[in-house]
Amino acid sequence: MLWRSLGIAIFLITWEVASLVVASKLILPGPIPVLQAFLDMCQKLPFWLSVGGSFLRVLEAFLLSVVLGILTGSLSGMLPRFRAALSPVMTGIRATPVLALILLAMFWFPSSQVPVFSAVLMAFPIMHTGAEIGVQATDEKLLQMSKLYAVPFSTIVWKLRIPSAMPHLLSGAKNTLGISWKVIVAGEVLSQPRFALGTGMQEARLSLETPSVFAWALMTIALCGLTEYLFGILIRRPVRALPPSAKRPLAARSAS
């Protein structure tokens, strides 16, 4: 905790010093004007409507990515032919620049859905990979034991395959949530839907209100951190039930 506080303090001091050196509120406002702009925005209803709008889009994109990723990832993990057929598509999606995707989506979808579509395409491959690795993570020796004792298929899925895959699914879901926030806000900046953090950010930029741009960005970071924290609380119970060896992938992802 002490080292975290020290890190934040060093960051704020560096920011303040840099803003003093630049000496232009338009280019780099210091932390205090940004905080002032942030507090001003918090008192306005449209700001909270924007927060709610973006939050719902992130939730929609996150849930769609998780469902789609688990579905395709599980099939890929179990069926080598499906994996081979899907591989070029996944490579194509992963290699597509996010901005190109948002611009294309603007031709196809209403402005409120452009960020969601873009976020799903960017985030679901992460969940897909987590589910694919998760399915393959099941211990072959335990599967052999299950076969020998004639354990029913559904019991193997619920009691063996899903718990074995759980650390990879959870770390995939956590990363999916983070990337969803980034892509949703980027999509909102370009597609300008009503009630969106990205729209507010873009309008502040056009009005040359740099402290407000920083304040909108600050809110995005805070929301992303908050949802990841809440997700962490939500998964605490299933993670606690996992054996120490199974928690390793989660710990590794958190560290990175």
Partner 1 sequence: MSYAVRDLAKSFGSLQVLEHIDFSFQESSIIAILGPSGCGKTTILNLVSGIVELDSGTLEGFAGKRFSYCFQEPRLLDWLTVEENMRYALASRLRIEPEKAATLSRIDRFLEEAGLAEFASYMPRELSGGMRKRLALARAFASPSDLLLLDEAFSEVDLKQRMDLMRTFLGLWSDEKPTTIIVTHDIHDALYLAHRIFVMSQRPSRIVGSLAIDIPHEERFFSSDAMARHEMELYRLLGFTRQE
Min dist CB 238 to partner 1, Å, is 10
Min dist CB 174 to partner 1, Å, is 20
Residues 6 or more apart whose Cβ sits within 8 Å of residue 123: 61, 62, 65, 69, 176, 179, 180, 183
Which residues lie near partner 1 (CB under 8 A)?
141-142, 144-146, 148-152, 155, 159-160, 163, 241-246
Min dist CB 166 to partner 1, Å, is 9
Closer by beta carbon to partner 1, 81 or else 141: 141
CA–CA distances in Å: residue 180 to residues 68, 83, 163, 184, 228: 14, 24, 25, 6, 11
Closer by beta carbon to partner 1, 106 or else 242: 242
Min dist CB 34 to partner 1, Å, is 47
Torsion of CA 26, 28, 30, 34, to 10 degrees: 60
Nearest C-alpha neighbor of 131 from the set 75, 60, 63, 58: 75
Min dist CB 154 to partner 1, Å, is 9
Closer by beta carbon to partner 1, 167 or else 200: 167
Q: Whole-angstrom Cα distance, residue 254 to residue 248?
A: 10
Closer by beta carbon to partner 1, 159 or else 205: 159
Torsion of CA 77, 80, 82, 88, to 10 degrees: 100
Per DSSP, the three-state class of 150 is coil
Closer by beta carbon to partner 1, 67 or else 145: 145
Residue written as token pair 């029913």:
152
